[in-house]
Amino acid sequence: DAKTTQPNSMESNEEEPVHLPCNHSTISGTDYIHWYRQLPSQGPEYVIHGLTSNVNNRMASLAIAEDRKSSTLILHRATLRDAAVYYCILRGGSQGNLIFGKGTKLSVKP
């Protein structure tokens, strides 16, 4: 699996938007970009995924660069419950496993 690079940590204020970046310069044409998050003492939770076009769901938006070498997870209004480690993962194929990096630890201040 191609590698991703994320900042170790980020801080945000409650009710403000948060942009979590991810670089994946060696992404291949068939790799999907997945985002998961892990709250303390819980298993990871699926957030969003995409291939080429920007994606929106009830949790977040995913903005994918035109050359696909980077992407940004957007939380439109951060809440305290969004404090977690966010993982950006590339996955090829429909049965591929997930290789977790260190992720970005997001802190949300009230």
Partner 1 sequence: GAVVSQHPSWVICKSGTSVKIECRSLDFQATTMFWYRQFPKQSLMLMATSNEGSKATYEQGVEKDKFLINHASLTLSTLTVTSAHPEDSSFYICSALALLTGDNQPQHFGDGTRLSIL
- Residue 32 touches partner 1, criterion: CB under 8 A: yes
- Residue 7 touches partner 1, criterion: CB under 8 A: no
The number of residues that bind partner 1 (CB under 8 A) is 25
- Residue 37 touches partner 1, criterion: CB under 8 A: no
In the complex, minimum distance from the CB of residue 22 to partner 1, in angstroms, rounded to a whole number: 15
What is the pattern of x (binds partner 1, CB under 8 A) and - over residues 50-69? -x------------------
- Residue 27 is which amino acid? I
